Amino acid sequence: MPAIDAAPYSFPFEPARAALLIIDMQRDFLEPGGFGAALGNEVGHLRGAIAPTRAVLTAARAAGVCVIHTREGHRPDLADLHPAKRRRGNHATTIGDAGPMGRILVRGEAGHAIIPELAPIEGEAVIDKPGKGAFYATDLAAILAARGISQLLIAGVTTEVCVHTTLREANDRGFDCLVMSDCTGSYFPEFHAAALAMVSAQGGIFGWVAPSAAVLAALA
C-alpha cells in the first residue's frame, strides 16, 4: 500500500493499523430542522462533503480498513447534557426541544441518525458522544486500542468544531491523523480553510491534510 500524498509531507499509511473515522455526519447537522439549523446555520454548506466521504467509505470497506462512525447527541433524559451546553447561544430552540426530525440532538430521534448515504453497516462501531471531541466520555480509545489502531483518516463535520476537537484529542493520545480536505466541511468556508491550514502548519503540528483523491489512490 503506497504512502498517501499529503501536506506537509507524505503520510506513511499502514492500512492494518488505520481507521477511517467519520465524525457526526448526522441529519441534525446536514439537514434543515436539526441542531445546526437551530444554531442559525445554513446546513447546505456541509453537503459537499457527502459524496467524497461516501467514495472513501466504499474504498475503505473494500480494502478491509477499519471504519468507525461518531454521533453527537444526548440521552433522552438529557442527564449527560451540561447546563452550559444547553444554555449556550440563548437560542429559542435548543438540544432536547422538539423539531421536524424529532427532539434535537437526542439519541434515537430521526435527526440524530447518520445520513442514509453514509449509514454504518454490520461490524462498524458507532460512537455516541456527548461532547465535541470523540474521546471525551466515550469508549473510542478502548476500541482503537483493542484493534491496534494508531492512524486515523478523518472525515466529517464540522471542520473547526468536532473534527478539530477530535483531531487534537487524538494527536495528544499519540495517533497519526490525516484530515481529508473535501470530506470535511464547515458552515463557514473561511473557518474550514483556516482549520485545515492549522493541521499541517509547523511541519504538521496536528497531522496531515490530503484530498480524498490521494486517499483513494492509496486504497486502490
Q: Does 193 bind ligand TIU (CB under 6 A)?
A: no
Q: Which ranges in the chain belong to alpha helices (H)?
A: 27-30, 35-38, 50-63, 83-87, 140-146, 164-172, 189-204, 212-219
End-to-end CA distance of the chain: 8
Query: For residues 26 and 200, which CB has a smaller minimum distance to ligand TIU in the complex?
Result: 26
Residue with cell 461532547: 131
Q: Is 24 among the catalytic positions?
A: yes
59-98 residues near ligand TIU, rule: CB under 6 A: 72
Query: For residues 13 and 35, which CB has a smaller minimum distance to ligand TIU in the complex?
Result: 35
102-141 residues near ligand TIU, rule: CB under 6 A: 132
Q: Which of 129, 176, 182, 183 is labelled catalytic?
A: 129
In the list 67, 106, 113, 161, the residue contacting ligand TIU (rule: CB under 6 A) is 161
For the bound state, the minimum distance from the C-beta of residue 25 to ligand TIU, rounded and expressed in Å, comes to 9
| CA nearest to 58, candidates 178, 177, 216, 185 | 216
In the list 30, 157, 179, 183, the residue contacting ligand TIU (rule: CB under 6 A) is 157
Alpha carbons within 13 angstroms on the beta-carbon side of residue 17 total 10
Assigned C-alpha cell, 87: 444554555
Q: Which of 66, 162, 177, 183 is labelled catalytic?
A: 162
For the bound state, the minimum distance from the C-beta of residue 2 to ligand TIU, rounded and expressed in Å, comes to 31
In the list 158, 181, 184, 212, the residue contacting ligand TIU (rule: CB under 6 A) is 158
In the list 5, 17, 39, 211, the residue contacting ligand TIU (rule: CB under 6 A) is 39
Q: Is the backbone peptide bond immediately before 159 cis, with ω within 30 degrees of 0?
A: no
| CA nearest to 97, candidates 50, 28, 154, 23 | 28
Q: Does 182 bind ligand TIU (CB under 6 A)?
A: no
Assigned C-alpha cell, 129: 458522544
Q: Is 85 among the catalytic positions?
A: no
Round to whole Å and give the CA distance between 152 and 67: 10
Query: For residues 29 and 135, which CB has a smaller minimum distance to ligand TIU in the complex?
Result: 29
Residue with cell 483531531: 167
Q: Is 129 among the catalytic positions?
A: yes
Beta bridge partners of 141: none
Residues that bind ligand TIU (CB under 6 A): 24, 29, 39, 72, 132, 157-158, 161-162, 187
